[in-house]
Chain A
């Protein structure tokens, strides 16, 4: 594939509903990251997957947030019982493992609006 893809590109939901966001990383990239970006802010780290290791969930803001990844492919980020403060752009990034180069390749993001 050409790059990291994310779907949907935009999601509008009502407060209290669950949403699922999808990320397709670059083929062969073993590491996958989810970030959240609120309007006018920098990126907040949410969760990191590396191969078959246990994910680093240290950035998840609450237990309403969870993410899964199947092997070294697709990842889904789920937000349960959405709140208005969850409105943000959710960005996914992938990279190769090993080496000193930590460049991450980002998808276009999913803009989530919680009404």
Chain B
């Protein structure tokens, strides 16, 4: 069953603009991760935020987590055409080894 739900489903912006994607989930989590997928193939891990963290940065990425609202956001600053991809949030539970539960993703298009 799907735990995470991203919105928007699709986002189109110009190069240089910021892109914000949101994710909501249903059950308590250990951590939340964001992945990127190009052309419907393998996923690449972007960033992980633990349940006791509120904000995390990695390069042009900024992730926030609000466990009281069961939501997270991914901000990509100064976007580039190469950022065009689908972005998924994924959550795990407190059980060790549990598979990640993915949302349906946000498709980001960045035009030059």
Contact = CB atoms under 8 A, between A and B. Distances in A.
Interface string A46-80: 00101000001001000000000000000000000
Given A42-B88, A89-B40, A100-B50, A105 B45 contact: yes
B62 interface: no
Contacts of A39: 40
Interface residues of A, number: 31
Contacts of A111: 40
A108 B2 CA distance: 22
B95 to A, nearest CB: 10
B4 to A, nearest CB: 8
Interface stretch (B12-20, B63-71, B77-85, B102-110): B102-110
Interface string B83-112: 000001010100011111111110000000
A89 B41 contact: yes
B48 interface: yes
